[in-house]
Amino acid sequence: MRLPLAALAATLILAPALAHDSWISKGGLRNAAGEWCCGQGDCALLDREAVTETAGGYRLHGWGTVFGGADTGNLRIQVDETVPFSEAMPSPDGAFWRCHRPDRTRRCFFGPPPGS
């Protein structure tokens, strides 16, 4: 009984990190300025409660998790900005992701289509 529970827990913990590795970094995605969206450990999976839709775009106000490697661990970051709908890119996994530069300014934002 413990082995299946441990496997389930590992899957839930690793799934967001695997999604990041499989489609953001490997997809070669770029923002409108031509910058790569992703580098190692620079995209955060945002808590659903941290994102609301407003007339001006996606309002990010809350916390996200940057998934690190085995040696760095995970990092919780706080966000507070509005991303215009025109700057948002579709998120294949239906989650909200915010990729940032080393100074923590937004490089790319992924989310499900507005209203979904």
Query: Model confidence over 52-78: pLDDT tens digits?
Result: 999 999 999 999 988 765 556 788 889
Residues 6+ away with beta carbon under 8 Å from 13? none
Q: Provide long-range contacts, Cβ within 8 A and 24+ apart, for 5-13.
A: none
Instruction: Please tell me the pTM assigned to this model.
Output: 0.75
> pLDDT for 102-112, tens place per residue?
888 999 999 98
The count of C-alpha atoms lying within 13 angstroms of the C-alpha of 111, restricted to the half-sphere facing its C-beta, is 25
Instruction: Check residue 22 and give its pLDDT.
Output: 57
